[in-house]
Chain A
Amino acid sequence: MQNATPAAGPDQSGAPTASLSLVEAAVVCLRAAFPTSEIRAASAFGDSWAVVPGNLIVDACRALRDDPATACNMLVDVTAVDLLPRAPRWEVVYNLLSLAHNARFRLKVEVEDGPEPLVPSVSSVYAGANWYEREIFDLMGIRFSDHPDLRRILLPEDWQGYPLRYDHPLGGEEVGFTS
C-alpha cells in the first residue's frame, strides 16, 4: 500500500510546498514527541500519513495540534478500515487538517483482531471525534477507551453484530412487515 512517491500529486494545486513542509514538520514533531517509539511515515497519491502505536494516539494528536509548526487544529474525519485477513486487522484513520498551513495529514493506528479491539479516544483533544468514534464502534466494533458516551449511533441499541466488518454478510436481515 505504501508507494513511496513524493507528496506532490498531479492535482495538488493547493500550494504543494506548504503541504510538503507540513508533512515533514509532522513527522519531525512526532519523532521528537516519541523518541523511543517507531513512527512509520508514508505517502501516496498526494496524501501523507504516519502510523503511530495505539497507546500514543491521544498524545500524537495533541502534539500535532499544539505544535505551531503543524497546527493541525481540525480533526476532519475518523474512520476505520477492515483489512481482513491481514494482521493487524484494522486501521483507524484520523484525518487532520491544518488551517494555518492549508494542508492535510493522516494519523493511523493499527488494531489487532480480538474479542474487544480497543483504541484510546481522542475526544478530549478534538470534541468532533465523539460521533466519529461512536460510528466506528457501531459499525466496526472497535471500542474507544475514555470515550464520554460510547453508544451505538446509527443502528438500534439492541442490534447484534457490526455490519461494516468484512466477515459480516451482506443481506440476510429480516425486514419489518415481511409476512
Chain B
Amino acid sequence: MITETRIVEGVDGRSAIVERPDAHADLMTVNMGPQHPSTHGVLRVILTLDGETVVDAVPEIGYLHTGIEKTIQCKRYEAALTCTDRMDYLSPLANNLVYCLAVEDLLGVDVPVRATWLRTLLVELTRIASHLVWLGTHALDLGAMTVFLYCFRERELILDLFEELTGQRMMTSYIRFGGLEQEAPDGWLDRVRKVNDSFPSHVDEYERLLTRNGIWKERLQGVGVISGEEALHYGMTGPSLRGSGVDWDLRKKQPYLVYDQLDFRVPVYPQGDCYARYICRIEELRESQRLVQQCLKLLPSGPIRSDDRKVVPPPKEELASSMEAVIHHFKLLTEGLHPPVGEVYRAVESPRGELGVFLVSDGSNKPRRCHVRAPSFANLQALPRLCRGHLVADVVAIIGSIDIVLGEIDR
C-alpha cells in the first residue's frame, strides 16, 4: 500500500501531499470518535483515507475542557489543589506533587524528609497504577481481553491502598504544601510491601501473554515510527520519547524528591515504534516496583508536614492551648497563603512525560496564572505524523502506544 502512495511531510506536521501514479485516487474522510472505545476518553480524529491507508489524521480535542486553569486562578492556592487531581485522573498524585512543588518553591517552605520519601513512594505507586491502565486498555484495543482484566485486578489493589491512605481512590489531594495531609494508618506500609512484593510475578504474567506473542509483535513492530529528533521537535516526552532512543528522564537528569538517592534504570529503546514504547513502559513497571521497594526500606521516621505555621495550619490540639495557634489558624483559613511576587516553572516526570506547572504569583492569595504543561498534549500533537501511511487499524495501536489522558489534554 505504502509503495503506491508517496507522502511528503510538511514542516508544520499537518500538510500532506499525496502523489499517486494512478490519477483516480478517491480519498475518503472518516470520523473516529469522540465516542469510540479506543480513543481513551473523548478524542475525535478525522481520518482521510486512501482505501485503508491513512493519508492524514487530524485530532480534534476539547471535549473534556472544563476550564481548569481559569478555575485555578479564581481559587485560593490551597483550594486549587483539588483541581489538579482532575487533570490527569490516572496519576492524580503526580499532579498534586508538581503543583505543590511549584507553590513550595514560591513560598520557600521546607518539606520534612519522611514526607519527601513518602511522596516518592506514592508517585511511583501511581506510575504503576497508571501504566497498568495503559497496558490494559492498549491490549484491549488490540484484542487481548485477558491482559485488561489482569491489569485492572492489580490496579485495584493499588487503588485500595490509596483509598485507605487518602480516603479516595483517584481524587486524592493527599500531597499538600509543606508535606502530606496525614500520617499513613497503622499497617499501611506492610500492606504496600505485600502488594509490591507480589507485583514482579504479575508483570511476568503480562509479558508471557504479550512480549513474544506473534500477533502482538505484528501489530506493534514497525508501526508509528518516529525518530528521536522528530519526537523532540514535537515536544514529546516520557516513554514515548525514550522509545525513540532519547535518554531523557527528569528523575535522572534533573532529580527532584529523593530520586538521586535511589537506584533505578531508565529503559531506552531506539526503534521508535509502538513496540519500543511498549517495552519501555513494561520495564518502567519493573523499575517503579524496585523504587517502591527501596522507599519502603529506606523510609525514615519523623514528621510528615512542615511546622511552618505561615503555610501549614496548626494541629487541632494546639488550638485549645495556644493563642498564637488560633491566630495562625484564623489567618490561614480566612486569608490563605500569600506567596511573594514571582513566577516559577517546576516539572516532574509523570507516567506520561514531563508534567510542568508554570505558576505566576502577584502576591495575592490566588495564583495570577497557573498553566499546566500536560505531557499528553504534546505527545498527541505528533499523532498525524505517526499515523500517516499506516492502515486504519494501526491508528488504534498508535493512540494506545502514546498513552494519552484526555483529562490533562483538555484541562
Interface residues in chain A, defined as those with a beta carbon under 8 Å from any beta carbon in chain B: 1, 3, 9-11, 13-14, 44-47, 73-77, 79, 81-83, 93, 95, 99, 102, 104, 106, 123-124, 126-128, 130-132, 139, 148-149, 152-156, 163-164, 168, 170
Closest 9 CB pairs of A and B: A128-B235, A14-B254, A154-B62, A148-B12, A79-B371, A77-B373, A154-B65, A45-B344, A81-B369
A44-B343, A45-B105 known; A13+B354 contact, CB < 8 A: no
Residues of chain A within 8 A (CB-CB) of B411 are 154
Residues of chain A within 8 A (CB-CB) of B246 are 99
Candidates B15, B234, B236; contact of A148 at CB < 8 Å: B15
CA distance A2 to B340 in the complex (A): 11
CA distance A77 to B347 in the complex (A): 11
Instruction: Pick the most buried of B12, B340, B373: most chain A CB atoms within 10 A of its CB.
Output: B12
B14 within 8 A of A: yes
B195 CB to closest chain A CB, in angstroms?
30
CA distance A128 to B341 in the complex (A): 30
Check if B12 sits within 8 Å of A163, measured CB to CB.
Answer: no
Residues of chain A within 8 A (CB-CB) of B236 are 128
CA distance A44 to B235 in the complex (A): 25
Check if B345 sits within 8 Å of A95, measured CB to CB.
Answer: yes
Residues of chain B within 8 A (CB-CB) of A45 are 105-106, 342-344
CA distance A3 to B246 in the complex (A): 35
Nearest B-chain residue to A131, judged by Cβ: B381
Check if B345 sits within 8 Å of A47, measured CB to CB.
Answer: yes
Candidates A47, A75, A123, A168; contact of B344 at CB < 8 Å: A47
B101 CB to closest chain A CB, in angstroms?
8
B99 CB to closest chain A CB, in angstroms?
15
Residues of chain B within 8 A (CB-CB) of A79 are 358, 369, 371, 373
B332 CB to closest chain A CB, in angstroms?
22
Residues of chain A within 8 A (CB-CB) of B354 are 76
Residues of chain B within 8 A (CB-CB) of A81 are 343, 360, 368-369
Chain B 85-115, CB-CB to A under 8 Å as 1, else 0, gives 0000000000000000000011010000000
Check if B234 sits within 8 Å of A128, measured CB to CB.
Answer: yes
B367 CB to closest chain A CB, in angstroms?
11
B74 within 8 A of A: yes
Chain B 7-51, CB-CB to A under 8 Å as 1, else 0, gives 000111111000000000000000000000000000000000000
CA distance A168 to B71 in the complex (A): 12
| Total count of chain B residues near the partner, CB < 8 A | 49
A91 CB to closest chain B CB, in angstroms?
9
CA distance A164 to B233 in the complex (A): 27
Nearest A-chain residue to B235, judged by Cβ: A128
Candidates B12, B74, B340, B347; contact of A130 at CB < 8 Å: B12
Nearest B-chain residue to A73, judged by Cβ: B232
User: Which positions 221-235 of chain B face chain A at CB distance < 8 Å?
Assistant: 232-235
A11-B256, A46-B105, A155-B62 known; A127+B11 contact, CB < 8 A: yes
B314 within 8 A of A: no
A76-B354, A76-B373 known; A170+B232 contact, CB < 8 A: no
- 8 of the cross-chain contacts (CB-CB < 8 Å) are A13-B255, A14-B255, A81-B368, A93-B358, A102-B253, A124-B12, A130-B381, A164-B69
B275 within 8 A of A: no
CA distance A76 to B233 in the complex (A): 10
B260 within 8 A of A: yes
A11-B256, A47-B344 known; A154+B235 contact, CB < 8 A: no
Candidates A44, A77, A106, A130; contact of B14 at CB < 8 Å: A130
CA distance A66 to B356 in the complex (A): 25
Nearest B-chain residue to A15, judged by Cβ: B254
Nearest A-chain residue to B254, judged by Cβ: A14
Chain B 288-315, CB-CB to A under 8 Å as 1, else 0, gives 0000000000000000000000000000
Residues of chain B within 8 A (CB-CB) of A104 are 345
